[in-house]
Amino acid sequence: MDSAQPARTVLVIDDDSSMLNVLSLILERAGFLPRKASHPHEALKLLEELKPDLIITDLMMPDMNGIDLIRAIRRLANGQAVPILLRSYRILDQKHVKEALEAGANDVMQTVVVPRELLARVQALLNDVKG
């Protein structure tokens, strides 16, 4: 990451506190500024004030799944243009991937977290926004 640029903010949303901490640590070590939300409603509240450069959300969460959360984010002024990466432990069928992309996800990651892959996807999404 270019030290001349300010750290880019990444909102990470996951109801699993261990995964939330792992993702945040990976991002922080790569020079990003992670902001954490452990519940979809907490994330929506944060987005009233926060303008993240990227959002990473889990698919399976209580009360609101990641696809419904993406739809809600896209209705917010702060969430219309921000890239969103939806991730899941589960293998998603093409129906779920299509639904996520139609809801407004920019990318879908169907794997356990491999830091190198996560960071490559984050950087690609951020570069798409700049370009």
Low-confidence ranges of the chain (pLDDT < 70): 1-5, 91, 111-112, 129-131
Element (H, E) at 55: strand 54-58
Question: For residue 79, what pLDDT is reported?
Answer: 86
Q: Looking at residue 3, what DSSP letter applies? A: T
Query: pTM, whole model, 2 decimals?
Result: 0.89
Q: Give the per-residue pLDDT at 75.
A: 95
Lookup: tokens for 21: 């901490």
Model pLDDT, residue 80: 87
* Span 9-130 CATH architecture: 3-Layer(aba) Sandwich (3.40)
- What pLDDT, on the 0 to 100 scale, is given for residue 1? 47
**Mean per-residue pLDDT of the chain:** 90
Q: Residue type at 47?
A: L
Q: Which long-range contacts (CB under 8 A, 24 or more apart) does 68-75 make?
A: 68/40, 68/103, 69/13, 69/40, 69/43, 69/44, 70/100, 70/103, 70/104, 70/105, 71/103, 71/104, 72/40, 72/44, 73/43, 73/44, 73/47, 73/104, 74/103, 74/104
Residue 3 has a pLDDT of 53
